[in-house]
């Protein structure tokens, strides 16, 4: 997908601080962290939002969700806990139209969100 920021990060055209990479997914640090630990998990293939999740290969979907607890464990946030967030569309607060999951941890997060 042309002119998609996260496609460019996935391809390496735009640099990011990578936490984990495989053939199909990338985990990288958010440029504006909202918690002591804040990474974004994306499929490398372009999927616009949660509304199009049905277009994602179920194997990649499984890889995304199975990678999350591993990343949490490796970064010492499993025991105290963390938050997984997907913002979908303008009301959901989505600003980059390539599906991504925020993994936030390292502090006591408030609820409800604003």
Q: Which residues are catalytic?
A: 100
31 binds, among Zn ion, ligand 5GP, none (CB under 5 to 8 A by kind): ligand 5GP
Q: Which parts of 51-110 interact with Zn ion (CB under 5 A)?
A: 98
Cis status, amide bond into 30, omega within 30 of 0? no
Residue 85: closest CA among 65, 101, 71, 68 = 101
The structure tokens listed for 57 are 């290969």
Strand order in the sheet with 18-21: 18-21, 25-29, 37-43, 101-105, 82-85
**Options 4, 45, 56, 84; binder of Zn ion; rule CB under 5 A:** 4
Measured CA to CA, the distance from residue 38 to residue 31 in angstroms comes to 9
- x/- letters, 81..110, toward ligand 5GP (CB under 6 A): ------x-----xxxx--------------
Task: Name the residues that contact Zn ion, by CB under 5 A.
Answer: 1, 4, 6-7, 46, 98
Task: Name the residues that contact ligand 5GP, by CB under 6 A.
Answer: 5, 16, 28-32, 87, 93-96
């Amino acid at each position: 997908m042309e002119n998609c920021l996260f496609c460019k990060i996935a391809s390496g055209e735009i640099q990011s601080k990578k936490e984990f990479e495989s053939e199909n997914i990338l985990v990288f640090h958010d440029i504006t962290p909202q918690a002591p630990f804040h990474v974004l998990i994306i499929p490398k293939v372009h999927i616009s939002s949660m509304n199009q999740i049905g277009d994602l290969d179920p194997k990649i979907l499984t890889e995304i969700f199975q990678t999350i607890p591993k990343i949490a464990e490796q970064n010492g946030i499993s025991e105290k806990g963390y938050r997984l967030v997907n913002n979908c569309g303008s009301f959901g607060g989505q600003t980059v139209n390539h599906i991504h999951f925020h993994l936030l941890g390292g502090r006591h997060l408030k609820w409800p969100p604003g």
